[in-house]
Amino acid sequence: MKKITIKDVARNAGVSIAAVSYVLNGKESKVSQDTIVRIHESIRHLNYIPSITARGLVKNTSELIGVIIPQTEDHKQLVFENPFYSEMISAIEGVVREYGYHIILAGVDKGKTYLDISTSRNLDGAIIMGIYSEQLYDECKQANIPIVLIDSYVNDNSFANVGIDDELGGYLATKHLIENGHRNIGLVTGMIRKEGVVEKRFLGYKRALQENGLFYNPDYVFENSVSYVHGRSSGALIADKFPEITAVFAVADMVAFGVIRGIKESGKDVPHDISVIGFDDISMAHMFLPPLTTVKQQIFLKGETAARMLIEQIQEKNGVSVKSARSLIPLEIVDRETVRKLMN
C-alpha cells in the first residue's frame, strides 16, 4: 500500500502543500477557516499520519526525550528485571506525553558515552539515572541539551537533580530492625562505589549500628549486585549463620525477595527466624508473601518530578523562563510482615 504523504493531503483538499504544513505545525492563523476544515477532512479521509521526524525538522525539535540508565554493574539485564525501573519510566512517560513528547529508553554499558545517544537521536532533553561522580559526566554538558539526573550524587549546579536521602534511608531501615530488638544485622547490597546510592545506604546502616552501640562486622555484609539472584544466594549464607544473624537489611526490594527465598530454601522462616527489611516499596512489595516491610521512596513521584523539571528546562530553552532546583523526595518505613520483634 502506498504511503500517504502531505502532497496527497494537499491534492485531495485542493490546497497548497504550504497550507497543509501550516495546519500541521500549529500555524493555522496563516490560512482561512474554510481551508483548515478542508485539510482536516482530507487528513481523516486519507488516514494520513504526520511524520514526527518531518514535523521535528520544521519545529527544530525531535519531540524525543531520552531516559538513560547507565549499566554500572555486570548484570546487564538488571534494568528489565527490576520493577523499580518500570515504575519510574511509566511515571516519566506519563508526564512527557502530556506535553507532546515521546521517550527513548537506553541502557549505556560501562565505558560507553552518553553523547552518542543524545546526538544520534537529536534528543530535546534527557533524564539520566544513577550517574557516578567519577564518570565523565562533563560529556553531558557537551551534549548541550537540558538534563535532569535521578539518584545521583554528582555535585554540579549544571544539572537539575531528583533524589532521596539514601544515607537516611539506610539508617531508618537498620534503626527499625534495632528497635525491634535485633542486634546482629546483616546487609545484602550491590557493589559499594564511592558517592553512589548503595554506598549512602551502607553508611546509613553503619551509622545506625554505631549510634546504638552495636559492633560493625564486615562478615555480615554481602556485597555483589542489586539483584534477586544475589539476594537468594546471600539468603542461603545468612540462614547458615542463624542464630548469629537474626535480621537483614537488603538495599532494594528485589534483593529482599531473593534473600527471603534463600532463607526459606535453607529451612528457616521469615520473620520467625530471620527478619528482613527492603528498600523502595515497589508495587510487588505488598503482594509478596509475606508482605515486605520496606523503606518507601515514592518512585512514581520521583519520576514525575524529574520529568516536570526537564520539561521546565526545555521550555526555558525555548524562551519560557522557568527555574529548576534540586528536589528531595521524602522517605518512610512501611511496616508489613517480614520483621518480627524479638522479646528481651
Query: pLDDT tens-digit profile of 162-209?
Result: 999 999 999 999 999 999 999 999 999 999 988 889 999 999 999 999
Read off the pLDDT of residues 275-320 as tens digits, 9 standing for 90 and up. 999 999 999 999 999 999 999 999 999 999 999 999 998 888 654 4
pLDDT at position 218, please?
Answer: 96
Whether 211 and 224 share a structural domain: yes
192 is a domain residue: yes
The three-point CA angle 315-319-324 to 5° equals 45
Look at residue 53 and tell me whether its pLDDT is greater than 60.
no
With bands split at pLDDT 50, 70 and 90, how would you rate the model's confidence at 159?
A: confident
Question: Strand, helix or coil at 127?
Answer: strand
- At 199, phi and psi to the nearest 5? -60, -40
Whether 122 and 184 share a structural domain: no
Whether 179 and 278 share a structural domain: yes
CA 310 – CA 148 distance, rounded (Å): 6
Q: b/e map of 188-223 (b: 16 or more CB within 10 Å)?
A: bbbebeeebbbbbbbebbbbbbeeeebeeeeebbbb
Whether 76 and 221 share a structural domain: no
pLDDT at position 134, please?
Answer: 47
Domain count, the chain: 3
Number of Cβ within a 10 Å radius of residue 55: 17
338 is a domain residue: no
Q: What is the pTM of this model?
A: 0.80
Take residue 306 and report the three cell numbers written for it: 524529574
Higher pLDDT, 212 or 67: 212
Whether 147 and 193 share a structural domain: no
Look at residue 327 and tell me whether its pLDDT is greater than 80.
yes
Whether 233 and 287 share a structural domain: yes
71 is a domain residue: yes
1 is a domain residue: no
337 is a domain residue: no
Whether 160 and 170 share a structural domain: no
293 is a domain residue: yes
309 is a domain residue: yes
Dihedral sign from CA coordinates of 106, 110, 114, 115: negative
Q: Which of 18-22, 42-46, 245-249 has the highest mean pLDDT?
A: 245-249
Q: Identify the domain containing residue 13 by its residue range.
A: 6-59
CATH number, domain of 272, equals: 3.40.50.2300
CA 80 – CA 306 distance, rounded (Å): 20
pLDDT at position 318, please?
Answer: 59
Whether 202 and 241 share a structural domain: yes
Read off the pLDDT of residues 239-265 as tens digits, 9 standing for 90 and up. 998 999 999 999 999 999 999 999 999
